[in-house]
C-alpha cells in the first residue's frame, strides 16, 4: 500500500467525504500514481484557515477511490461549505475530487514535523498536489493509533465504491475478458443493425462512453447483480457464447439503445426469449418452464 500526503484546511469526512483539488491535473496525477487500496493523509495547514488546535497536525487519512468527480457531488449538505472554502466568485477552492472509500482519524494527531521531514511536507506541492511518502514515513504514520469513521450515505459515494470494485485488481480476470467480449459484441451489433444507429448517446454526464468505459459498466452490472441473471436469477456462467447460461448484455427496453440505465446482464437463454416475448412476461415464461416435482 502506498501512502500520499496533501495539505488541507481540515479533515471532516462526515460532511466532506472527498479528496479535493484545485485543478484537474493535480487530481488526475494522483489517480495515475495510486493503486487500489492506497491511502492519503490530510495535513492541516499552519495558517489561520485551519482551526488553531489542528494547525500543522496530521489529522486523518482516507482510502483513495478510482473515480473522477466534482467535489460538490460528494457533499450531502451544501450549507456546510464555509466562506473560506469558496473563491470570491462563489466557486469552491477545490472543485475537483476523488471519492473517499474509507476514512480514519488519528486519535492524538501529531504535528507534521514530529514524523515527517520539513522538506517533504512543507513544499508548495503539498498545497496543490499530493506527494508520495517514503516507506519509512508510511510505516510511522500507519503505526499511529487511529479509528475508522463511518462515511455518509451519498449516491455518488456508493457509485464510487462500485466503480472501484470494478476497476480493482480483485476483479476476476476471466470476467474481465467476458466483459470485454460483451462490450465488443454490443458495439458490433450496433454497427451492423441494418444501418440503424443503435448505440446512440451512451453517455455519462460528460461524454460518450468508449468501448473501455462500456466494459467497466458491464463489470459494475455484474457486481450489482451478484453474477446472476437480472431476469431469472440464475447464476451466470463463464461458458462458450452459445451456452444457454452464458452471460449476455441486454437492453432492458429492446426498442431502446445500448445506453446507461437501459442495460442489464442476463443469460443467453433469457436474452433469446426476450426476442419473442414481451419484456414484462419473460420471468413468467421461465417460471412456466420449471419442472414440477412428481
DSSP letter for each residue of 93-162: S--EEEEEEEEEEESSPPBHHHHS-HHHHSSTHHHHS-EEPPHHHHHHHHTS-EEEEPPP--HHHHHHHH
Pick the closest to residue 9 from 82, 88, 114 (CA basis).
82
pLDDT digits (tens, 9 = 90+) for 16-53: 999 999 999 999 999 999 988 899 999 999 888 889 99
CB-based burial of residue 163 (10 Å sphere; 0-12 exposed, 13-18 middle, 19+ buried)?
A: buried
**Higher-confidence residue: 244 or 260?**
244
pTM: 0.72
206 pLDDT band, cuts 50/70/90, is very low
203 pLDDT band, cuts 50/70/90, is very low
Amino acid at each position: 500500500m502506498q501512502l500520499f500526503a496533501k495539505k488541507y484546511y481540515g479533515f471532516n469526512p462526515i460532511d466532506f467525504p472527498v479528496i479535493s483539488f484545485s485543478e484537474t491535473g493535480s487530481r488526475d496525477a494522483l489517480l495515475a500514481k495510486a493503486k487500489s487500496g492506497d491511502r492519503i493523509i490530510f495535513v492541516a495547514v499552519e495558517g489561520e484557515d485551519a482551526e488553531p488546535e489542528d494547525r500543522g497536525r496530521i489529522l486523518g487519512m482516507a482510502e483513495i477511490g478510482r473515480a473522477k468527480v466534482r467535489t460538490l457531488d460528494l457533499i450531502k449538505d451544501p450549507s456546510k461549505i464555509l466562506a473560506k472554502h469558496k473563491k470570491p466568485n462563489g466557486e469552491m477552492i477545490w472543485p475537483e475530487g476523488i471519492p473517499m472509500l474509507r476514512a480514519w482519524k488519528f486519535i492524538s494527531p501529531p504535528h507534521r514535523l514530529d514524523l515527517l521531514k520539513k522538506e517533504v511536507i512543507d513544499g508548495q506541492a503539498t498545497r496543490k498536489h499530493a506527494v508520495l511518502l517514503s516507506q519509512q514515513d508510511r510505516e510511522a504514520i500507519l503505526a499511529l493509533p487511529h479509528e475508522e469513521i463511518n462515511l455518509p450515505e451519498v449516491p455518488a459515494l456508493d457509485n464510487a465504491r462500485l466503480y472501484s470494485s470494478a476497476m480493482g485488481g480483485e476483479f476476476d480476470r476471466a470476467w474481465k475478458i467476458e466483459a470485454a467480449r460483451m462490450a465488443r459484441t454490443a458495439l458490433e451489433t450496433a454497427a451492423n443493425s441494418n444501418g440503424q444507429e443503435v448505440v446512440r448517446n451512451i453517455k455519462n454526464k460528460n461524454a460518450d462512453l468508449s468501448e473501455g468505459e462500456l466494459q467497466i459498466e458491464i463489470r459494475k452490472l455484474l457486481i450489482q447483480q451478484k453474477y446472476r441473471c437480472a431476469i431469472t436469477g440464475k447464476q451466470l456462467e463463464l461458458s462458450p457464447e452459445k451456452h444457454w447460461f452464458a452471460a449476455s448484455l441486454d437492453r432492458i427496453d429492446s426498442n431502446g439503445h445500448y445506453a446507461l440505465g437501459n442495460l442489464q446482464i442476463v443469460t443467453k437463454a433469457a436474452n433469446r426469449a426476450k426476442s419473442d416475448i414481451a419484456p414484462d412476461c419473460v420471468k413468467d415464461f421461465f417460471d412456466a418452464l420449471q419442472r414440477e416435482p412428481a
